[in-house]
Amino acid sequence: MLGRCAARALGALRGLREGAPPARSPGPSRRLLSSEKVSEKDHSLPKPCWSKDMRLLFDQFMKKCEDGSWIHLPSYEDIATQRSQDFSTFIHAYFPTASEQINKEKLSQGRIFTRSFEDGLGFEYVMFYNDAEKRIVCVFQGGPHLQGMPGFFHGGAIATMIDATVGMNAIVSGGIVMTANLNINFKRPIPLCSIVLINSQLDKIEGRKLLVSCNVQSVDEKILYTEATSLFIKLNPEKEFHIKELVLNSAPPA
Ligand SMILES: CCCCCCCCCCCCCCCC(=O)SCCNC(=O)CCNC(=O)[C@H](O)C(C)(C)COP(=O)(O)OP(=O)(O)OC[C@H]1O[C@@H](n2cnc3c(N)ncnc32)[C@H](O)[C@@H]1OP(=O)(O)O
């Protein structure tokens, strides 16, 4: 029998297949008031700070979602809103000593790193997942606060987006994982504020180990900027969290 989350995820997928608009409309982009729940904004939907090209690529991928081969992955600022209390509890139980050292007061201020910048200044991205091919494509528009060498992205910012993309691929394919190893070859500098495609691919699962590779290319695929390989370790070989459904169905309740 389908769990509630899975059923809702399938419902959401059906909605996409039928060409229905995303459950939450993008709405105007603005700074949130302190009284608002930061979590209620799906950052993977178009915003005014997205360039025309970013919007075009989003539309192209949403079209590919219509037959169900690709799935749009929603993205919120706060992992706790992703219906993930069990998930947090599990992680803390896996690392009991480290968990004791977490400042519980600060925990409520926790934000997903890549979603902690003001709109347009840091990481703007949207991911699409292909279940049959175990691939994720991330359309990434980096903002001016990600500068390293003048006029180019900081390598750490590129590494962050790579980790987020291959990490999401491993999570959706394998469950609860953590990055154990990430190898990156920076082949060409990426001009600041440009849009790139991060193509990730699950290559192999060996027991608890998931190997995921990726490359970063220009939108016209003529420039190969970066290549990476990664190793993720699954933390929940026995316990099943239906994490794919959690990710797909992570919108907060209306
Ligand atoms: C609703 C919910 C939504 C949730 C969705 C939203 C999420 C929104 C975020 C998006 C995605 C972000 C993605 C970022 C993901 C991070 O950034 S994670 C943060 C960075 N990573 C870390 O902090 C991990 C630190 N490392 C560790 O804690 C531990 O080393 C690990 C990785 C958990 C592994 O420890 P362990 O579970 O005790 O496993 P262990 O027995 O040591 O190793 C298992 C096997 O792997 C091998 N192995 C382990 N490490 C390595 C290594 N480095 N190299 C080679 N082999 C290794 C071992 O040799 C062993 O092999 P076998 O003997 O079985 O053949």
Is 130 inside a domain boundary?
yes
Is 7 inside a domain boundary?
no
Beta bridge partners of 109: none
* Cα 97–chain centre separation: 28
Q: How far apart are CA 160 and CA 168, in angstroms?
A: 12
Q: Whose CA is nearest to atom 42 of ligand 1?
A: 233
252 or 250: which leads in pLDDT? 250
Is 123 inside a domain boundary?
yes
User: Does the pLDDT value for residue 222 go beyond 50?
Assistant: yes
| 110 pLDDT tier (thresholds 50, 70, 90) | confident
Pocket probe mutation, ligand 1, options 115, 171, 233, 249, max atoms within 8 Å of Cβ:
233
Is 5 inside a domain boundary?
no
Q: Does the CB atom of residue 78 touch ligand 1 within 6 A?
A: no
In this prediction, residue 68 carries a pLDDT of 94
Q: How far apart are CA 63 and CA 68, in angstroms?
A: 10
Q: Does the CB atom of residue 80 touch ligand 1 within 6 A?
A: no
Is 214 inside a domain boundary?
yes
- Set 42, 59, 131, 163: catalytic member: 163
**Per residue in 145-188, pLDDT tens?**
999 999 999 999 999 999 999 999 999 988 889 999 999 999 99
The number of residues in the chain equals: 254
**Domain assignment of residue 167, given as a range:** 52-78+113-241
- Specify the ligand 1 atom closest to the Cα of 87: 2
- Tell me how many domains the chain contains: 1
Distance between the two ends of the chain, CA-based, in angstroms?
25
70 or 15: which leads in pLDDT? 70
**Per residue in 31-79, pLDDT tens?**
333 434 445 789 999 999 999 999 999 999 999 999 999 999 999 887 6
Q: How far apart are CA 246 and CA 9, in angstroms?
A: 8
Distances (CA, A) of 6 to 77, 138, 193, 241, 242: 22, 23, 37, 11, 8
Is 137 inside a domain boundary?
yes
Q: How far apart are CA 90 and CA 175, in angstroms?
A: 12
Q: Does the CB atom of residue 115 touch ligand 1 within 6 A?
A: no
C-alpha 177 to ligand 1 mean position (Å): 6
CATH number of domain containing 223: 3.10.129.10
Is 106 inside a domain boundary?
no
CB atoms within 10 A of CB 235: 18
User: Does the pLDDT value for residue 11 go beyond 50?
Assistant: no
Average pLDDT over residues 87-112: 84
**Per residue in 116-145, pLDDT tens?**
999 999 999 999 999 999 999 999 999 999
Is 9 inside a domain boundary?
no
Can 220 be counted among the known catalytic residues?
Answer: no
In this prediction, residue 243 carries a pLDDT of 63
Q: Whose CA is nearest to atom 51 of ligand 1?
A: 180
In this prediction, residue 113 carries a pLDDT of 93
Contact 166, 212 (CB under 8 A): yes
Q: Predicted ipTM?
A: 0.95
In this structure, is the dihedral angle defined by the CA atoms of residues 9, 165, 177 and 102, taken in order, positive or negative? Answer: negative
